[in-house]
């Protein structure tokens, strides 16, 4: 008779994501995972595969959860400018209030493992295209509603928003001046005037 799992797979994946996010891939040993996840090594291997496979699943989980949260945040606001500013404000607040100063899991992973991990590099490239496309579509929505003058280079502005969003999460790890960081956001948004 097959054994039933005595753990919630999603909960374990969330815990693995949190540990990799906090410590990084190389600094996280299999024993760290066993201790943090509260399941034995055999269960980790049979459910998730080796450390690298578990890391990739945790990375994908982070990307999916983060993408949904970003979309939700943007679309809760009446205008594109308000949505973008709120998204940045939330990211800054999370970065500043995080006692571990983890920043963004995707940025951390790309800094630690690329170049060298071609699979991860490909996932990060997909992440870049996905989020830049999300910002572009959101800007196009604002343009179609007449929130700002038509004819702006929305592809470039979306790229700038994406770059600033990632950069602010790195900068906020060491420079926690919320008002100064939001001034940079306002500078980008002024391109829509």
pTM, two decimal places: 0.86
Can you give the pLDDT at residue 32? Answer: 96
CA 45 to the chain's CA centroid? 26
Span 174-189, average pLDDT: 90
Query: What is the rounded CA–CA span in Å between residue 111 and residue 101?
Result: 15
CATH of 60-192, one of 3.30.43.10, 3.40.50.970, 1.10.760.10, 1.10.357.10: 1.10.357.10
Residue found under tokens 């295209």: 129
pLDDT over threshold 60, residue 80: yes
Domain boundaries, the chain: 60-192
């Amino acid at each position: 008779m097959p054994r039933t799992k005595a753990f919630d797979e999603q909960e374990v994946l969330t815990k693995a994501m949190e540990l990799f996010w906090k410590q990084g891939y190389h600094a996280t040993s299999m024993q760290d995972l066993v201790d943090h996840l509260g399941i034995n090594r055999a269960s980790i291997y049979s459910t998730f595969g080796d450390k690298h496979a578990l890391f990739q699943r945790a990375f994908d989980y982070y990307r999916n959860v983060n993408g949904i949260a970003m979309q939700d945040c943007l679309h809760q606001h009446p205008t594109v400018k308000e949505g973008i500013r709120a998204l940045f404000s939330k990211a800054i607040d999370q970065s500043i209030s995080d006692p571990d100063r983890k920043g963004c899991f995707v940025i951390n992973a790309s800094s630690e493992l690329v170049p060298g991990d071609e699979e991860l590099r490909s996932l990060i490239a997909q992440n870049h295209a996905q989020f830049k496309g999300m910002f572009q579509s959101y800007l196009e929505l604002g343009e179609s509603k007449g929130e700002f003058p038509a004819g702006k280079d929305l592809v470039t502005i979306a790229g700038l928003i994406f770059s600033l969003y990632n950069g602010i999460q790195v900068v906020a790890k060491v420079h926690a001046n919320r008002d100064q960081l939001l001034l940079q956001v306002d500078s980008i948004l002024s391109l829509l005037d």
